[in-house]
Amino acid sequence: MKLIKVAAAVLNQTPFDWDGNQARIVEAIRRARADEVTVLCLPEMAITGYGCEDAFFAPGLQETAFAVLEAIAAETAGMVVSVGLPLYFEKALYNAGALLVDGKIAGFVGKRFLAGDGIHYEPRWFKEWPAGERDVIERGDHRYPLGDILFDIDNVRIGFEICEDAWVANRPGADLALRGVDIILNPSASHFAFGKFAVRQRFVVEGSRAFGVAYLYANLLGNEAGRVIYDGGALIASGGELLARGRRFGFGDVELVTAVIDVEGNRREQARRGSHRPRHDAEAGVVELPFTWPARKPAAPPALVKSWEDGDHVKEEEFARSVALGLWDYMRKSRSCGYVVSISGGADSAACAVLIAMAYELAVAEHGLPGAIARLGQGARLADVADVGELTRRLLTCAYQSTEHSGPVTLRAAEEVTRALGATWHKLDVDALVKGYVAVVEGALGRRLTWERDDVTLQNIQARARSPGIWMIANIHGALLVTTSNRSEAAVGYATMDGDTSGGLAPLAGIDKTFLRHWLRWVEATGPAGLRPVPALSFVNAQQPTAELRPASAAGGEAQTDEKDLMPYDVLEAVEDAAIRDKRMPLEVLQEVQPRFPQHGARQLAVWVERFFRMWCRNQWKRERFAPSFHVDDKNLDPRSWCRFPILSGGYERELAELRAYAATLPPEAGG
C-alpha cells in the first residue's frame, strides 16, 4: 500500500501583485507542509494572476514570473508542488504548469486546449501546446523539459490537465492514463457561473474513475481583476470517489483541502478493468526524478462537510456570496473607502445596498472585525469602529434623490432598507436642479418643454440631475459609486446614460430583473445561511418596478411602471434568451416564446419582440459605456467580456418586416 497525502489550494491573487502573490503561494506551501502534505496543486497562472490581459506579452512580466518561480522552488524541499505561469519559448507564449520537486524546477507542461469563448481570450496571448511534442527550455545553465510530458517521481507518475484541458471531449487525461499516470494535477482559473461547480465536480470525480488516478483540482478565489469572480472550491477525488471538497466564496487569501490517496489501490483497480489497454511506448516523454516518499499509515478519510450547497436555495446563495465577495475584493483591491448607492426605493438599488452590507458581514464573520479592517488597509481611519454595524455605517452611504414625481412609497422603502442595513442615510431634493435645467433649455429654444413633445428629454434630465450630487458624496468619502442597472434593462437600454448609469461598478448588470425580484423576496424572509434576513425589503417587494420619472397625467392617468414602458419582465427575458443567447431571428423568437405565454396572444408578443430588437440595436452604445459588471452566468451582455455586437447595424429591418407580415396573418382572436 502506497499512501500519499495530497492537497489542492485556492488562492486570492491579483495581477502584477508580485509580492502578494508570492507570499500567498509560499503560505500555501507552508500550510501544506505543516499538515504533512507531500503533493500540492496550486492554481493556474498563480504567479502572475490570470487576468493580466495584453500585459502577458510584456517581456518584463515573463522574466519576473520566472524569477518568482525560482524563489518559490526553494520553498519546496521534501515536497512536490505545481504552480502556473506564462512561459515564453521559441517566439511563442504558453500557459504552463511548472512542477517543483524537492526544491528544484523539474519541468513544464504546456496547456493543450485554450479557453477562447465567452469571457476567455487565451488564444489572443497563448499558443496551444501540440499533443506528443516535447522540447527543452534553457535558462542560464539549466535545461528544463517542456511539453507533453509526465513526471515519474520515485515510481509515482504525475501528469497535468490545465483547466480547459479537462472540459473537452478528448481531454489529455485519457492519454495520460494509457501512459500509467497515478496523479493528475489540474491547476485552474475557472470563473464562477451559476451551476458550474456541479460540472467541475463531475469531471473531477469521473476523471479519477475513468483514468484510474487521484485527481487534484485547484482554483482561484475572489475578484481577481475586476469583472470575473472565482469561487474557489478545490476538489480531490480518487478512483471515482470524492475525497475532499473545499468551500466556495471564502473571504480568505489561502485555503487548502487535503486527502490521503492510495496509489497502489488505483493501480490494482485499473489492472482489473478489461477495457484498460496501456501503451507500451509509455516511456516516451517521461521525466524521471529521485524522491523519497514519506511513510504513511492508513487512516479513515474525513467525511465531507455539509454546507449551504447541499440545500434547496443554491442559486440564491451563490448570487449573494459571489457578488458580496466580488464587491469586497473590488473595494479593498482598489483601496476605496466604501460604497455609495443612489437608492430609489426600488428593487435594483435596494439589492445593491443589501449585497454591499452582506459583504461587510461576511468579511467580519470570517476575519473578525480587526482582521477585516486590516485587510482594507484603513486601520487608522477605522480604528474606532466597534462592530460590524458601525463598519457598515462608515462604508455604505445611501441617498434618496427626489423630484416632484417621487412618491412617499419609494421614499419610505428607501429609508426603511437603509436603516435596516445600518447604512448612512441622506435625502436630497434635486427638483430645483431639474427645473433649473429645464428653464435654461426652454430659454435657449424659445418654447416650453411638454410631456407630449419632450417625454424622453424630461424623464432623462431627472435622472441626470441626480448624478453630480451622488458623485460628490462618493468623492468626499473616497468611495465607489455603484450603478444599479440590471441585465434586463441593459438589453433594451432602459437606462439614462450619465444618469442612473453613473458609477464605477455595476454589480447587477449580469442578472435579470425577474430573478433579482425573486432573490429580494427570499432575502426578506430567509436570506443566506449564517446571515440575518432583511424584513424591511417588504417595502420594496410590495411595489411594481417604476422609474418614477413621468407624471400620471402624461400617461392617461396611469402611474408609470417599467413593464408598461417595456413589456412584462418574464417575456423580456425569454425574448432576450432566444434572441441574444440562442441567436434566433425575430420570427423564430416569436415562435419560440408564443407557446410559453399564451395569455398575451401572438400579436401582442410580436409587438414586444419587435420592440426588443429595435431597442437592442439602438442601444448597443449604452452597453459599451456601462460600468464594469460581474459575470454570474452565461447570459452576460457585457461587450467587453462576453457578448459583442456592432454599435451601428441595419437593425434587423428585413427580419422585422418578415415578423410583421407573419403577425398580420394571425386571426384577431389569436392576437388577444
pLDDT confidence band for 579 (50 / 70 / 90): very high
What's residue 560's pLDDT?
85
User: Does 299 fall in a domain?
Assistant: no
User: Does 520 fall in a domain?
Assistant: yes
Q: What is the pLDDT of residues 258-289, one digit of tens each?
A: 999 999 999 998 888 766 667 666 567 899 99
What's residue 557's pLDDT?
65
**pLDDT tops 70 at residue 670:** no
**Three-class SS of residue 108?**
strand
Exposure string (b/e) for 401-417, b if CB count within 10 Å is 16 or more?
bbbebbeeebbebbbbb
CB 625, CB 556: distance < 8 Å? no
Q: What is the pLDDT of residues 36-82, one digit of tens each?
A: 999 999 999 999 999 999 999 999 999 999 999 999 999 999 999 99
CA angle 606, 611, 616 (to 5 degrees): 130
Same domain, 509 and 579: no
Among 238, 272, 306, the domain boundary falls at 272
**pLDDT tops 90 at residue 584:** yes
Distance CA 368, CA 235 (A): 27
Q: What is the pLDDT of residues 390-399, one digit of tens each?
A: 999 999 999 9
Same domain, 537 and 497: yes
Distance CA 96, CA 112 (A): 9
pLDDT confidence band for 555 (50 / 70 / 90): low
Among 235, 253, 272, the domain boundary falls at 272
Among 545, 579, 610, the domain boundary falls at 545
What's residue 275's pLDDT?
66
Only one residue has cell 529521485, namely: 290
Single pTM value for the model: 0.94
> Which is more confidently placed, 655 or 557?
655
Distance CA 83, CA 511 (A): 34
Same domain, 507 and 605: no
Distances (CA, A) of 302 to 183, 242, 245, 255, 260: 20, 11, 11, 17, 10
pLDDT confidence band for 112 (50 / 70 / 90): very high
User: Does 635 fall in a domain?
Assistant: yes
What's residue 605's pLDDT?
96
Q: What is the pLDDT of residues 285-301, one digit of tens each?
A: 899 999 999 998 888 87
What's residue 271's pLDDT?
84
User: Does 313 fall in a domain?
Assistant: no
Same domain, 247 and 345: no
User: Does 555 fall in a domain?
Assistant: no
Same domain, 230 and 366: no
State phi, psi for 111 to the nearest 5 degrees.
-65, 130
Q: Is 263 exposed, middle or buried (0-12, 13-18, 19+ CB in 10 A)?
A: buried
Distance CA 164, CA 112 (A): 8
**Three cell numbers written together for 17:** 501583485
In DSSP terms, 5 is beta-bridged to 260
pLDDT confidence band for 378 (50 / 70 / 90): confident
Same domain, 19 and 102: yes
Contact residues for 85 (Cβ-Cβ < 8 A; gap 6+): 45, 46, 47, 48, 65, 66, 68, 69, 96, 98
| CA-CA-CA-CA dihedral for 234, 239, 243, 244, to nearest 10 | 0
515 HSE (CA, 13 A, CB side):
21
Instruction: Give the count of beta carbons closer than 10 Å to the beta carbon of residue 94.
Output: 24
Domain extent at residue 648: 567-672
pLDDT confidence band for 117 (50 / 70 / 90): confident
CB 438, CB 458: distance < 8 Å? yes
Axis crossing angle, helix 586-593 with helix 653-664, rounded to the nearest 10: 40
The CATH number of residue 81's host domain is: 3.60.110.10
Percentage of residues in the chain having pLDDT higher than 90:
89
What's residue 672's pLDDT?
46
**Three-class SS of residue 447?**
coil
Lowest mean pLDDT segment, chosen from 225-229, 380-384, 531-535, 552-556: 552-556
CB 605, CB 593: distance < 8 Å? yes
Same domain, 398 and 538: yes
What's the per-residue H, E or C state across 266-332?
HHHHHHHCCCCCCCCCCCCCEEEECCCCCCCCCCCCCCCCCCHHHCCCHHHHHHHHHHHHHHHHHHH
Same domain, 12 and 91: yes
What's residue 671's pLDDT?
44
Maximum Cα–Cα distance for the chain, whole Å? 92
Same domain, 472 and 519: yes
What's residue 278's pLDDT?
72
Say if strands 134-139 and 142-147 run parallel, antiparallel, or are unpaired.
Answer: antiparallel
What's residue 109's pLDDT?
98
Same domain, 121 and 188: yes
What's residue 669's pLDDT?
58
Backbone region of residue 285 per phi and psi (left: phi > 0; alpha: psi in -120 to 50; beta: other values): left
What's residue 544's pLDDT?
87
What is the chain's length? 672
The CATH number of residue 619's host domain is: 1.10.10
479 HSE (CA, 13 A, CB side):
25
Same domain, 498 and 574: no
**pLDDT tops 80 at residue 558:** no
User: Does 197 fall in a domain?
Assistant: yes
User: Does 556 fall in a domain?
Assistant: no
**What is the spatial order of strands in the sheet that 480-481 belongs to?**
424-429, 396-402, 339-342, 480-481
The DSSP-derived string for 340-362 is EEE--SSHHHHHHHHHHHHHHHH
Contact residues for 455 (Cβ-Cβ < 8 A; gap 6+): 550, 554
What's residue 302's pLDDT?
80
User: Does 102 fall in a domain?
Assistant: yes
**Three cell numbers written together for 167:** 472540459
The DSSP-derived string for 493-551 is T-S-TTTTT-SSBBTTTTS-HHHHHHHHHHHHHT-STTS---GGGHHHHTSPP----S-
Same domain, 53 and 146: yes
Q: What is the pLDDT of residues 181-199, one digit of tens each?
A: 999 999 999 999 999 999 9
What's residue 274's pLDDT?
60
How far is CA 375 from its chain centroid?
21
Q: How many domains does the chain have?
A: 3
Q: What is the pLDDT of residues 611-651, one digit of tens each?
A: 999 999 999 999 999 999 999 988 889 998 889 999 999 99
What's the per-residue H, E or C state across 143-174?
EEEEECCEEEECCEEEEECCHHHHHCCCCHHH
What's residue 600's pLDDT?
95
Lowest mean pLDDT segment, chosen from 26-35, 91-100, 468-477, 556-565: 556-565
The CATH number of residue 515's host domain is: 3.40.50.620
